[in-house]
Each structure stands twice: as structure tokens, then as C-alpha cells.
């Protein structure tokens, strides 16, 4: 940054908002929801999908016939477990970002040479506590240390155990795709810092026929629609909002120039809603943008990781090249 030599006189001319948003004392969700509704266009971070009902809906998405990423990534983990475990090495400590239901990690743990400690990080505290308790029961010799945190904020982790092997990050599911490119860089730089001297095993969904992408986010049973609409239901539960869910529609489409699926909640009519005691109006067709899910090529992902300071290593994919798992060496 340049020194702010001439900055001082500027303040006099700053515009004052007509009605400042009163957000003190609100939850992060409340603050971000109010900010989203006050902005134009309206958009909110997808991390707020994952309250307990939303996490359960996401688990159902992973089982859908149209939603190929989870079963494809699990297939790669199963087929390559021996090679991945070899790359990880003995006594390693695994840090998982956005651990969810802790199913994928079992495949790694079963193949690894005496894993020492496992730190699952997730924003959904209740869901994480239950999943961590189940995992601890099944892996008695492993130290399971769940961390309830938002890893998009600056993250402080416990020190590595004294006799542990290297620390390896695990970020499966292509959650990296939920970030815009600058946000992804920010995340990867943070990961490089907490994994210093170790590595990151990163899952990334690959670009493919847009019809297949479209189907994966518009399933026939409507589970993805319910997952998207749960954001409004959550606002009703937690923020005293009065969204009428039947007056909003799930919309998901492939944005070709930006190489991403976008999910929106579209107002079906002109309407007013109250959130945290403030009123907002929606015109017919106006949307709240709830998620981006970027799609990568093997090379675009490796370039992004390199820009963040990692050295890309092996890449494992499935026979149909639907999904990729990347070994990324962290800086020392």
C-alpha cells in the first residue's frame, strides 16, 4: 500500500447512508443477511446453508443420482487410497476444512500408516460434535479434536503434536469452488500458512458438459431446491424473518463465461419481507444469489494453487475425468 499522505481532508466529503444498518448484537448470519438484502444485486455466502437441517439436506444431495461429485470423489479415494496414504506418510496429522459428516476421512484413515491426530473444522457445531463422537468410537487410537470455526475467517489451530509426522490438510468436495477466484486465493494462502511444511489434498470438480452440471443442481426429487430454500427457513427460525417459502423459487444454472453454477432464490411476485425488524421489498423475478460452484480444469486448479504458494504434485482423477484430487506441497 502507498502511504496515505493526502488522505486526511477526504473524510468531510464522505456520503452518509440515509438509514444506517443497525447490526450490533446480531449473529454473523443476521449481519450478513441484512447486508445482503440492503445490497444490489443481493448475494449471501453459501456457508449459511449449513445449519443442522441444511447439513442433513446436503447429506441427502450427496446420495442423489444426478449429484455425481461425492460418489466420484469417494471412488477416487477408494481406488487411490494406497497411493494417497503413501504421499501423506507415517504419523501424520490431518486437518479437514469443512468436515461435514466425516465419511470421506475414514477412507484415508483406513489406508494411512498410524495417523496421529485428526482436526475436523466445521461451522455446523452440532453436526460436527455428533460426527466426531462417532468417529472417535470407531478409531480408538486416534486423537480426534473437532474445531468449530469458520475457516473463511482467519484461523488459529492448536500446535502440532510434539512427535507427530507432517500436517496434511484435506479439503474435499470441491468446496474450493464456492469461492470466487480472489476468495479461493485468500483461502489457499491461509491454508499454506497453517500447513507450512506439509501438504494439502484438495478436491476440485472438473468442467464438463453443461447439461450434466445443470442436472446435478436441479435434481428431480427437489432436494437441492429444499437445500437452497432452507436458507430462508433458517432466517425465519433464527432472525424472526417472515419469508413465505412458496413465494420463492430455486434457480440453478451454468454461467459459461464465469465457469460456474450459480444458485439463486427468485421472488415469484412483488412482495415485502421483514428480517430482524427491518422491511425489504422484492420485485417479481428479483433474486438473492446464494451460491457459486466454480468448475476447474486440472491446469486451472494447479495454476491457482501455485499462485497461492503451493507446489502442485500428483493429480488423481476418475476414468471419466469428472472430478480431481490434487496433492499440493505447502511451502516450508
Residues that bind ligand AVJ (CB under 6 A): 61, 69, 173-175, 177-178, 217, 224, 291, 293
Nearer to ligand AVJ, 72 or 224 (CB): 224
Nearer to ligand AVJ, 68 or 117 (CB): 68
Determine the Cα–Cα distance for residues 316 and 44; give it in Å rounded to an integer. Answer: 33
C-alpha cell recorded at residue 259? 465457469
Nearer to ligand AVJ, 117 or 254 (CB): 254
Q: How far is the CB of 229 from ligand AVJ (least distance, A)?
A: 12
Nearer to ligand AVJ, 100 or 312 (CB): 100
Q: How far is the CB of 176 from ligand AVJ (least distance, A)?
A: 8
Nearer to ligand AVJ, 104 or 117 (CB): 104
In the complex, residue closest to ligand AVJ by CB: 293
Q: How far is the CB of 294 from ligand AVJ (least distance, A)?
A: 8
Determine the Cα–Cα distance for residues 238 and 28; give it in Å rounded to an integer. Answer: 11
User: How does DSSP assign 89-149, residue by residue?
Assistant: -TT-EEEEES-TT--HHHHHHHHSSS--EEEEEES-HHHHHHHHHHHHHH-TTSEE--EE-
Contact of 144 with 128, CB cutoff 8 Å: no
Nearer to ligand AVJ, 118 or 171 (CB): 171
Determine the Cα–Cα distance for residues 193 and 182; give it in Å rounded to an integer. Answer: 17
CA-only gyration radius of the chain, Å: 21
**Residue 306: cis peptide before it, omega within 30 degrees of 0:** no
Q: How far is the CB of 147 from ligand AVJ (least distance, A)?
A: 19
Q: How far is the CB of 293 from ligand AVJ (least distance, A)?
A: 3
Rounded to the nearest 5 degrees, what angle is found at the Cα of 185, between the Cα atoms of 214 and 146? Answer: 85
Q: How far is the CB of 177 from ligand AVJ (least distance, A)?
A: 6
Amino acid at each position: 500500500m502507498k502511504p496515505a499522505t493526502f488522505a486526511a481532508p477526504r473524510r468531510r466529503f464522505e456520503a452518509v447512508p440515509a438509514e444506517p444498518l443497525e447490526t450490533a448484537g446480531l449473529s454473523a448470519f443476521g449481519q450478513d443477511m441484512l447486508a445482503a438484502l440492503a445490497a444490489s444485486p443481493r448475494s449471501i455466502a453459501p456457508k449459511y446453508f449449513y445449519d443442522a437441517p441444511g447439513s442433513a439436506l446436503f447429506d441427502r444431495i450427496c446420495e442423489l443420482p444426478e449429484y455425481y461429485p461425492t460418489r466420484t470423489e469417494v471412488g477416487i479415494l477408494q481406488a487411490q487410497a494406497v497411493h494417497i496414504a503413501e504421499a501423506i506418510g507415517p504419523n501424520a496429522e490431518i486437518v479437514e476444512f469443512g468436515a461435514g459428516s466425516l465419511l470421506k476421512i475414514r477412507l484415508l484413515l483406513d489406508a494411512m500408516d498410524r495417523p496421529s491426530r485428526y482436526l475436523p473444522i466445521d461451522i455446523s457445531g452440532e453436526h460436527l460434535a455428533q460426527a466426531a463422537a462417532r468417529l472417535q468410537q470407531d478409531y480408538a487410537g486416534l486423537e480426534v479434536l473437532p474445531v468449530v470455526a469458520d475457516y473463511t475467517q482467519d484461523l488459529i489451530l492448536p500446535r502440532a503434536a510434539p512427535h507427530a509426522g507432517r500436517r496434511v490438510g484435506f479439503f474435499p468436495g470441491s468446496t474450493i469452488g464456492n469461492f470466487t477466484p480472489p476468495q479461493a486465493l485468500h483461502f489457499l494462502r491461509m491454508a499454506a500458512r497453517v500447513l507450512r511444511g506439509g501438504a494439502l489434498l484438495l478436491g476440485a470438480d472438473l468442467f464438463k458438459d453443461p447439461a450434466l452440471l445443470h442436472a446435478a443442481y436441479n435434481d428431480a426429487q427437489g432436494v437441492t431446491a429444499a437445500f437452497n430454500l432452507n436458507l430462508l427457513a433458517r432466517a425465519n427460525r433464527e432472525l424472526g424473518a417472515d419469508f413465505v417459502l412458496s413465494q420463492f423459487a430455486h434457480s440453478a444454472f451454468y454461467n459459461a463465461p464465469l465457469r460456474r453454477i450459480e444458485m439463486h432464490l427468485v421472488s415469484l411476485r412483488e412482495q415485502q419481507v421483514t428480517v430482524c425488524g427491518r422491511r425489504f421489498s422484492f420485485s417479481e423475478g428479483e433474486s438473492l444469489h446464494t451460491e457459486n460452484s466454480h468448475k476447474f480444469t486440472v491446469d486451472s486448479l494447479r495454476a491457482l494453487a501455485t499462485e497461492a504458494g503451493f507446489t502442485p504434485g500428483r493429480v488423481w482423477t476418475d476414468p471419466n475425468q469428472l472430478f480431481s484430487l490434487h496433492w499440493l506441497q505447502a511451502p516450508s
